Amino acid sequence: MKIIGTGSSLPAKTVTNDMLASFLDTSDEWITERTGIKTRRLITTETLIDMGADAAKKAINMSGIDVKDIDYIICSNVANNFVTPAMSCMVEGLVGADCPCFDLNGACAGFLFALDMADGLLKTGRAHNILIVCAEEPSKFCNWEARDTTILFGDGAGAVVVTRGDDHVLSIKMSTKSKYESLYYQRKMELTPYDQGTELYNPLVMDGRDVFRMAVSASTRDIDYVMNEANLSPSDITYYLLHQANLRIIESIRKHLDQPIEKFPTNLERYGNTSSASMVILMDEMIRDGRIKRGDLLMLSAFGAGFVSGACAMRY
């Protein structure tokens, strides 16, 4: 599997920490110190599906392939306005593709789950070109009165086109250790004549400290596994592209690997945590501004609600 195109799309509205502090009991100082986040982009008039399609068009354009040569579209999304059809079906129409489409919900590790699925489809010969779109609007499932969650998230979309290529994925490892109580969002379902039970609805519930601990231990474990399987040492990696959740989580992983800070690029200070889109948006920025070059060794690692996690070593 080889990445031949990337794209991203962000909402126009920038929301600063001070703007949040005008209605939440928080401050720019607290948010910056505990998370590294300074601003985030939040959806106002955009739709997530349009943003996903916009990112996809940019990725297809960079790849140089004909849109009709896309054999599969996989969208990674936690929640959006439509429960059905899948977001990928709508993206297909907006980009003008003609192929099977499905969505997956791998929380913030969704991009890595999608890469793993795509790698399998390419290896079996069922597909030559696959479009992966990660589009997320976590702002729509936060409780806007809860200062511990709302400050963390931003909305955004990222996309990649992958095709067949030798030796680009050196190792990939996905994991799930079921523990939903630490991070979940429960949405409303319709009541029926046969089930008038209590509606279970909860905007995002998070035990921040537990998630922090699980994130660091899962990510370091996954990276060590992948590194070992690919026969790499930490210094071989050009960049560690980690899920953009919290600068302190990234710093803990960096310390474990004992590698220089320059190898751990971030954009969470500008965009916050955009769930599964975060790593793709970062990758797209770095490819477009020339920081990531062909031949670079990338270590991707992400974690999220489930608790799910994964890592992937790949040559760009």
| Residues classed as catalytic | 108, 243, 273
Give the x-and-dash track for 212-251 against ligand ACO (CB under 6 A): x--x-----------------------------xx-----
The answer to whether 76 and 103 are in contact (CB under 8 A) is yes
**Least CB distance to ligand ACO at residue 108 (A):** 4
Query: Taking Cα atoms as reference points, which of 58, 96, 29, 46 lies closest to residue 281?
Result: 58
The answer to whether 231 and 248 are in contact (CB under 8 A) is no
Number of residues that bind ligand ACO (CB under 6 A): 24
The pairing of beta strand 297-304 with beta strand 239-242: parallel
How far apart (Å, rounded) are the C-alpha atoms in residues 150 and 239?
29
Q: If binding is defined by CB under 6 A, does position 38 make contact with ligand ACO? A: no
Which residues between 39 and 98 bind ligand ACO (CB under 6 A)?
none
Cβ neighbours for 239, distance < 8 A, ≥ 6 positions apart? 263, 264, 265, 286, 291, 292, 296, 298, 299
Kindly state the DSSP code that residue 238 receives in the 8-state scheme: S
Give the distance between the most distant pair of CA atoms in the chain. 61
Q: If binding is defined by CB under 6 A, does position 211 make contact with ligand ACO? A: yes
Q: If binding is defined by CB under 6 A, does position 121 make contact with ligand ACO? A: no
The answer to whether 71 and 65 are in contact (CB under 8 A) is no
For residue 157, the SS3 value is strand
Q: If binding is defined by CB under 6 A, does position 208 make contact with ligand ACO? A: yes
From 4-12, 24-32, 66-74, 111-119, span contacting ligand ACO (CB under 6 A): 24-32
Give the x-and-dash track for 144-173 against ligand ACO (CB under 6 A): ---xx--xx---------------------
Which listed residue (30, 184, 225, 316) binds ligand ACO by CB under 6 A?
Answer: 30
Q: Select 79 or 89, whichever has its Cβ closest to ligand ACO.
A: 79
**Least CB distance to ligand ACO at residue 269 (A):** 14
Query: Which residues does residue 240 pair with via DSSP β-bridges, in sequence order?
Result: 299
Work out whether the CA dihedral 171, 6, 301, 112 comes out positive or negative.
negative
Q: Select 143 or 238, whichever has its Cβ closest to ligand ACO.
A: 143
Which listed residue (9, 63, 129, 273) binds ligand ACO by CB under 6 A?
Answer: 273
**Least CB distance to ligand ACO at residue 165 (A):** 29
Which listed residue (59, 226, 281, 305) binds ligand ACO by CB under 6 A?
Answer: 305
Which listed residue (1, 74, 75, 107) binds ligand ACO by CB under 6 A?
Answer: 107
Which listed residue (275, 279, 280, 285) binds ligand ACO by CB under 6 A?
Answer: 275
Work out whether the CA dihedral 144, 150, 156, 160 comes out positive or negative.
negative
How far apart (Å, rounded) are the C-alpha atoms in residues 152 and 239?
24
Q: Which helix (H) or strand (E) holds 308?
A: strand 308-315
Residues that bind ligand ACO (CB under 6 A): 26, 30-31, 34-35, 107-108, 147-148, 151-152, 183, 206, 208-209, 211-212, 215, 245-246, 273, 275, 304-305
